[in-house]
Protein backbone atom coordinates (compact mmCIF):
# COMPACT_ATOMS: atom_id res chain seq x y z
CA UNK A 1 0.00 0.00 0.00
CA UNK A 2 2.81 2.42 0.97
CA UNK A 3 4.57 1.69 -2.32
CA UNK A 4 1.40 2.57 -4.25
CA UNK A 5 1.04 5.84 -2.32
CA UNK A 6 4.67 6.74 -3.02
CA UNK A 7 4.29 5.97 -6.71
CA UNK A 8 1.11 8.01 -6.90
CA UNK A 9 2.83 10.94 -5.19
CA UNK A 10 5.76 10.69 -7.60
CA UNK A 11 3.51 10.69 -10.65
CA UNK A 12 1.52 13.64 -9.28
CA UNK A 13 4.72 15.62 -8.63
CA UNK A 14 5.97 14.93 -12.15
CA UNK A 15 2.67 16.03 -13.58
CA UNK A 16 2.71 19.25 -11.56
CA UNK A 17 6.26 20.02 -12.67
CA UNK A 18 5.40 19.38 -16.32
CA UNK A 19 2.30 21.50 -15.94
CA UNK A 20 4.30 24.34 -14.41
CA UNK A 21 6.67 24.30 -17.39
CA UNK A 22 3.72 24.33 -19.81
CA UNK A 23 2.44 27.63 -18.39
CA UNK A 24 5.84 29.14 -17.58
CA UNK A 25 6.24 32.03 -17.57
CA UNK A 26 2.93 33.53 -16.54
CA UNK A 27 4.23 36.54 -14.61
CA UNK A 28 7.24 38.94 -14.65
CA UNK A 29 10.74 37.49 -14.35
CA UNK A 30 13.29 39.22 -12.12
CA UNK A 31 16.74 39.19 -13.72
CA UNK A 32 19.31 39.95 -11.02
CA UNK A 33 22.65 41.50 -11.95
CA UNK A 34 25.04 41.34 -8.96
CA UNK A 35 26.89 44.51 -10.02
CA UNK A 36 25.94 48.20 -10.40
CA UNK A 37 24.43 49.55 -13.64
CA UNK A 38 26.76 50.53 -16.46
CA UNK A 39 29.35 47.78 -16.49
CA UNK A 40 29.81 44.93 -18.99
CA UNK A 41 27.75 42.49 -16.92
CA UNK A 42 24.85 44.93 -16.79
CA UNK A 43 25.18 45.55 -20.56
CA UNK A 44 24.77 41.83 -21.26
CA UNK A 45 21.63 41.61 -19.14
CA UNK A 46 20.06 44.61 -20.88
CA UNK A 47 20.83 43.19 -24.31
CA UNK A 48 19.11 39.91 -23.37
CA UNK A 49 16.18 41.63 -21.66
CA UNK A 50 14.30 42.75 -24.77
CA UNK A 51 14.42 39.52 -26.79
CA UNK A 52 13.53 37.46 -23.71
CA UNK A 53 10.49 39.65 -23.04
CA UNK A 54 9.41 39.27 -26.66
CA UNK A 55 9.81 35.52 -26.59
CA UNK A 56 8.10 34.95 -23.23
CA UNK A 57 5.51 37.76 -23.54
CA UNK A 58 6.05 38.80 -19.91
CA UNK A 59 8.14 41.65 -18.45
CA UNK A 60 11.76 40.87 -17.62
CA UNK A 61 12.86 43.26 -14.87
CA UNK A 62 16.58 43.96 -14.38
CA UNK A 63 17.45 44.21 -10.69
CA UNK A 64 20.98 45.50 -10.01
CA UNK A 65 22.19 44.31 -6.59
CA UNK A 66 25.87 45.20 -6.44
CA UNK A 67 28.29 44.84 -3.56
CA UNK A 68 30.90 42.54 -2.01
CA UNK A 69 32.33 41.40 -5.33
CA UNK A 70 28.95 40.16 -6.55
CA UNK A 71 28.20 38.21 -3.37
CA UNK A 72 25.17 40.26 -2.29
CA UNK A 73 23.07 39.81 -5.44
CA UNK A 74 24.23 36.23 -5.93
CA UNK A 75 23.35 35.32 -2.36
CA UNK A 76 19.91 36.88 -2.74
CA UNK A 77 19.13 34.69 -5.75
CA UNK A 78 20.39 31.61 -3.92
CA UNK A 79 17.68 32.19 -1.29
CA UNK A 80 14.90 33.00 -3.78
CA UNK A 81 11.95 30.75 -4.51
CA UNK A 82 13.09 28.10 -7.03
CA UNK A 83 10.31 28.65 -9.55
CA UNK A 84 12.16 30.26 -12.47
CA UNK A 85 10.86 33.76 -11.75
CA UNK A 86 14.16 34.93 -10.28
CA UNK A 87 17.28 34.31 -12.36
CA UNK A 88 20.86 35.52 -12.03
CA UNK A 89 23.43 36.79 -14.47
CA UNK A 90 26.25 34.73 -13.00
CA UNK A 91 29.85 35.92 -13.26
CA UNK A 92 33.06 33.96 -12.77
CA UNK A 93 33.88 35.93 -9.60
CA UNK A 94 30.94 34.85 -7.41
CA UNK A 95 30.59 31.45 -9.07
CA UNK A 96 34.25 30.32 -9.12
CA UNK A 97 36.57 32.74 -7.29
CA UNK A 98 34.89 34.24 -4.24
CA UNK A 99 34.64 31.10 -2.15
CA UNK A 100 38.45 31.05 -2.09
CA UNK A 101 38.93 34.83 -2.04
CA UNK A 102 36.57 35.59 0.88
CA UNK A 103 36.59 34.05 4.35
CA UNK A 104 32.90 33.28 3.93
CA UNK A 105 30.17 33.89 1.36
CA UNK A 106 26.38 33.60 1.80
CA UNK A 107 25.90 30.83 -0.77
CA UNK A 108 27.46 27.66 -2.17
CA UNK A 109 28.04 28.05 -5.93
CA UNK A 110 27.70 24.33 -6.59
CA UNK A 111 24.78 23.48 -4.29
CA UNK A 112 22.61 26.60 -4.37
CA UNK A 113 22.14 27.07 -8.13
CA UNK A 114 20.80 25.31 -11.19
CA UNK A 115 22.95 26.18 -14.22
CA UNK A 116 20.93 27.35 -17.24
CA UNK A 117 23.38 28.45 -19.94
CA UNK A 118 26.83 29.98 -20.53
CA UNK A 119 26.53 33.31 -22.33
CA UNK A 120 30.06 34.74 -22.62
CA UNK A 121 33.75 33.89 -22.89
CA UNK A 122 35.54 37.25 -22.86
CA UNK A 123 39.09 37.29 -24.20
CA UNK A 124 41.51 39.46 -22.25
CA UNK A 125 44.42 41.32 -23.80
CA UNK A 126 47.79 42.10 -22.26
CA UNK A 127 48.22 45.75 -23.19
CA UNK A 128 50.64 48.53 -22.34
CA UNK A 129 50.71 52.30 -22.47
CA UNK A 130 52.58 53.52 -25.61
CA UNK A 131 55.36 54.90 -23.40
CA UNK A 132 56.38 51.28 -22.75
CA UNK A 133 58.60 50.47 -25.72
CA UNK A 134 58.28 46.69 -25.76
CA UNK A 135 56.62 45.15 -28.81
CA UNK A 136 56.22 41.47 -27.93
CA UNK A 137 55.95 39.04 -25.03
CA UNK A 138 59.67 38.20 -24.98
CA UNK A 139 60.60 41.87 -24.65
CA UNK A 140 57.87 42.44 -22.07
CA UNK A 141 59.13 39.59 -19.87
CA UNK A 142 62.70 40.83 -20.17
CA UNK A 143 61.69 44.33 -19.04
CA UNK A 144 59.58 42.93 -16.19
CA UNK A 145 62.56 40.94 -14.90
CA UNK A 146 65.22 43.62 -15.46
CA UNK A 147 63.14 46.56 -14.22
CA UNK A 148 60.64 45.08 -11.77
CA UNK A 149 59.66 48.50 -10.45
CA UNK A 150 58.94 49.86 -13.94
CA UNK A 151 55.86 47.77 -14.64
CA UNK A 152 52.71 47.45 -12.54
CA UNK A 153 49.32 46.29 -13.75
CA UNK A 154 45.88 47.72 -13.10
CA UNK A 155 42.72 45.70 -12.48
CA UNK A 156 39.06 46.15 -11.64
CA UNK A 157 39.78 44.89 -8.11
CA UNK A 158 41.17 41.93 -6.23
CA UNK A 159 39.95 38.61 -7.60
CA UNK A 160 38.55 40.05 -10.84
CA UNK A 161 39.47 38.47 -14.20
CA UNK A 162 41.86 41.35 -14.92
CA UNK A 163 43.67 40.63 -11.66
CA UNK A 164 43.78 36.84 -11.91
CA UNK A 165 45.01 36.93 -15.52
CA UNK A 166 47.97 38.97 -14.30
CA UNK A 167 48.68 36.66 -11.37
CA UNK A 168 48.51 33.63 -13.67
CA UNK A 169 51.06 35.39 -15.90
CA UNK A 170 53.34 36.03 -12.91
CA UNK A 171 53.16 32.37 -11.94
CA UNK A 172 53.78 31.12 -15.47
CA UNK A 173 56.76 33.41 -16.16
CA UNK A 174 58.29 34.02 -12.75
CA UNK A 175 57.78 37.79 -12.85
CA UNK A 176 56.45 39.91 -10.00
CA UNK A 177 54.33 42.52 -11.74
CA UNK A 178 52.92 44.72 -9.00
CA UNK A 179 49.12 44.63 -8.83
CA UNK A 180 47.22 47.94 -8.53
CA UNK A 181 43.53 47.29 -7.76
CA UNK A 182 40.80 49.81 -8.61
CA UNK A 183 37.12 49.93 -7.75
CA UNK A 184 35.98 48.93 -11.20
CA UNK A 185 37.36 48.38 -14.70
CA UNK A 186 36.57 51.93 -15.87
CA UNK A 187 38.83 53.76 -13.39
CA UNK A 188 41.59 51.19 -13.98
CA UNK A 189 41.47 51.62 -17.74
CA UNK A 190 41.44 55.41 -17.42
CA UNK A 191 44.67 55.36 -15.42
CA UNK A 192 46.34 53.06 -17.96
CA UNK A 193 45.27 55.39 -20.77
CA UNK A 194 46.76 58.26 -18.80
CA UNK A 195 50.02 56.39 -18.27
CA UNK A 196 49.73 56.40 -14.47
CA UNK A 197 49.86 52.59 -14.55
CA UNK A 198 51.61 51.04 -17.52
CA UNK A 199 50.01 47.61 -17.94
CA UNK A 200 46.59 45.98 -17.89
CA UNK A 201 45.13 42.58 -18.67
CA UNK A 202 41.79 43.99 -19.79
CA UNK A 203 38.63 42.51 -21.23
CA UNK A 204 39.09 42.99 -24.96
CA UNK A 205 35.70 44.57 -25.57
CA UNK A 206 36.57 47.46 -23.24
CA UNK A 207 39.99 48.18 -24.75
CA UNK A 208 39.77 47.35 -28.44
CA UNK A 209 38.75 50.90 -29.47
CA UNK A 210 41.84 52.33 -27.75
CA UNK A 211 44.08 49.68 -29.28
CA UNK A 212 42.83 50.49 -32.78
CA UNK A 213 43.45 54.22 -32.28
CA UNK A 214 46.97 53.68 -30.91
CA UNK A 215 46.24 54.82 -27.36
CA UNK A 216 47.18 51.35 -26.07
CA UNK A 217 49.58 48.77 -27.49
CA UNK A 218 48.51 45.09 -27.46
CA UNK A 219 51.18 42.53 -26.57
CA UNK A 220 49.13 39.30 -26.60
CA UNK A 221 45.67 37.88 -25.95
CA UNK A 222 44.99 35.44 -23.13
CA UNK A 223 42.86 32.93 -25.03
CA UNK A 224 44.04 29.67 -26.60
CA UNK A 225 43.45 31.01 -30.12
CA UNK A 226 43.72 34.46 -31.69
CA UNK A 227 40.63 36.67 -31.69
CA UNK A 228 39.00 37.94 -34.91
CA UNK A 229 39.04 41.62 -33.89
CA UNK A 230 42.84 41.57 -33.41
CA UNK A 231 44.03 38.92 -35.89
CA UNK A 232 47.66 40.11 -35.87
CA UNK A 233 48.01 39.93 -32.08
CA UNK A 234 49.43 36.56 -30.93
CA UNK A 235 48.25 34.53 -27.98
CA UNK A 236 50.36 34.20 -24.85
CA UNK A 237 50.49 30.46 -25.51
CA UNK A 238 52.02 30.84 -28.97
CA UNK A 239 54.38 33.47 -27.55
CA UNK A 240 56.02 30.89 -25.31
CA UNK A 241 53.63 30.48 -22.37
CA UNK A 242 52.48 26.99 -23.35
CA UNK A 243 49.08 26.14 -21.93
CA UNK A 244 48.19 29.68 -20.88
CA UNK A 245 44.45 30.12 -21.45
CA UNK A 246 42.28 32.58 -19.56
CA UNK A 247 38.83 34.00 -20.29
CA UNK A 248 36.30 35.94 -18.31
CA UNK A 249 32.93 34.21 -18.49
CA UNK A 250 29.29 34.71 -17.57
CA UNK A 251 26.15 32.64 -17.62
CA UNK A 252 22.63 32.44 -16.29
CA UNK A 253 21.59 30.36 -13.30
CA UNK A 254 18.41 29.85 -11.30
CA UNK A 255 18.02 28.85 -7.66
CA UNK A 256 18.66 25.19 -6.93
CA UNK A 257 15.53 22.98 -7.08
CA UNK A 258 14.06 25.03 -9.92
CA UNK A 259 12.08 22.39 -11.87
CA UNK A 260 14.13 20.87 -14.66
CA UNK A 261 11.46 21.57 -17.32
CA UNK A 262 11.56 25.27 -16.37
CA UNK A 263 15.36 25.31 -16.60
CA UNK A 264 15.16 23.68 -20.01
CA UNK A 265 12.53 26.15 -21.20
CA UNK A 266 14.83 29.02 -20.21
CA UNK A 267 17.77 27.29 -21.89
CA UNK A 268 15.85 26.70 -25.11
CA UNK A 269 14.61 30.31 -25.26
CA UNK A 270 18.10 31.72 -24.70
CA UNK A 271 19.71 29.40 -27.25
CA UNK A 272 17.09 30.55 -29.78
CA UNK A 273 17.87 34.19 -28.98
CA UNK A 274 21.60 33.58 -29.46
CA UNK A 275 20.94 31.84 -32.77
CA UNK A 276 19.42 35.01 -34.27
CA UNK A 277 22.00 36.63 -36.60
CA UNK A 278 20.99 40.21 -35.71
CA UNK A 279 21.30 39.48 -32.00
CA UNK A 280 24.61 37.67 -32.49
CA UNK A 281 26.06 40.74 -34.19
CA UNK A 282 25.05 43.00 -31.30
CA UNK A 283 26.35 40.47 -28.78
CA UNK A 284 29.74 40.13 -30.43
CA UNK A 285 30.10 43.92 -30.33
CA UNK A 286 30.36 43.51 -26.54
CA UNK A 287 33.68 41.73 -27.14
CA UNK A 288 32.67 38.13 -26.57
CA UNK A 289 31.75 35.32 -28.96
CA UNK A 290 28.30 33.78 -28.68
CA UNK A 291 28.47 30.69 -26.46
CA UNK A 292 25.16 29.03 -25.56
CA UNK A 293 24.87 25.29 -25.03
CA UNK A 294 23.41 23.02 -22.36
CA UNK A 295 22.94 23.49 -18.62
CA UNK A 296 25.23 20.49 -18.07
CA UNK A 297 28.06 22.09 -20.08
CA UNK A 298 27.81 25.32 -18.08
CA UNK A 299 27.75 23.41 -14.80
CA UNK A 300 30.89 21.52 -15.81
CA UNK A 301 32.64 24.80 -16.69
CA UNK A 302 31.81 26.30 -13.30
CA UNK A 303 33.25 23.28 -11.47
CA UNK A 304 36.43 23.22 -13.57
CA UNK A 305 36.99 26.97 -13.28
CA UNK A 306 36.38 26.91 -9.53
CA UNK A 307 39.36 24.56 -9.13
CA UNK A 308 41.57 26.45 -11.61
CA UNK A 309 40.85 29.96 -10.36
CA UNK A 310 40.86 28.92 -6.72
CA UNK A 311 44.41 27.67 -7.21
CA UNK A 312 45.45 30.99 -8.77
CA UNK A 313 44.04 32.84 -5.75
CA UNK A 314 45.82 30.57 -3.28
CA UNK A 315 49.14 30.51 -5.13
CA UNK A 316 49.20 34.31 -5.37
CA UNK A 317 48.01 34.87 -1.82
CA UNK A 318 45.19 37.09 -3.08
CA UNK A 319 42.88 38.69 -0.51
CA UNK A 320 39.97 41.11 -0.78
CA UNK A 321 40.58 44.86 -0.56
Share of the chain above pLDDT 90, in %: 78
Dist. CA 203–CA 219, nearest whole Å: 14
Tallying the residues shown for the chain, one arrives at 321
Beta bridge pairs of residue 88: 32, 253
pLDDT 10s digits, 41-99: 899 999 999 999 999 999 999 999 988 889 999 999 999 999 999 999 999 999 999 99
Quickly list DSSP for 122-189.
EEEEEEE-TTS---SHHHHHHHHHH-TTT-EEEESSTTSHHHHHHHHHHHHHT--PEEEE-SSHHHHH
Handedness of CA 302, 307, 311, 313 (dihedral sign): positive
What pLDDT is attached to residue 16?
A: 45
pLDDT 10s digits, 101-121: 999 999 999 999 999 999 999
Higher pLDDT, 181 or 21: 181
pTM of the complete model: 0.85
What is residue 84's three-state secondary structure?
coil
pLDDT 10s digits, 230-288: 999 999 999 999 999 999 999 999 999 999 999 999 999 999 999 999 999 999 988 88
Dist. CA 253–CA 128, nearest whole Å: 35
Amino acid sequence: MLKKVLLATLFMTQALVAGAADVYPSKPIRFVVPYPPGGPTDAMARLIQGPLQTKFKVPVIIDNRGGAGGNIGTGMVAKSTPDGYTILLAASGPMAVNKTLYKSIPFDPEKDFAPVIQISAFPLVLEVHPSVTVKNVKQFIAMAKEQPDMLSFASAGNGTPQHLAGELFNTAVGTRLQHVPYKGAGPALNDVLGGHVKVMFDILGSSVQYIKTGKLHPIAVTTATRVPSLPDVPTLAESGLTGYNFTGWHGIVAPAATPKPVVMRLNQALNEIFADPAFRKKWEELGTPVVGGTPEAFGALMRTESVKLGKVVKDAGVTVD
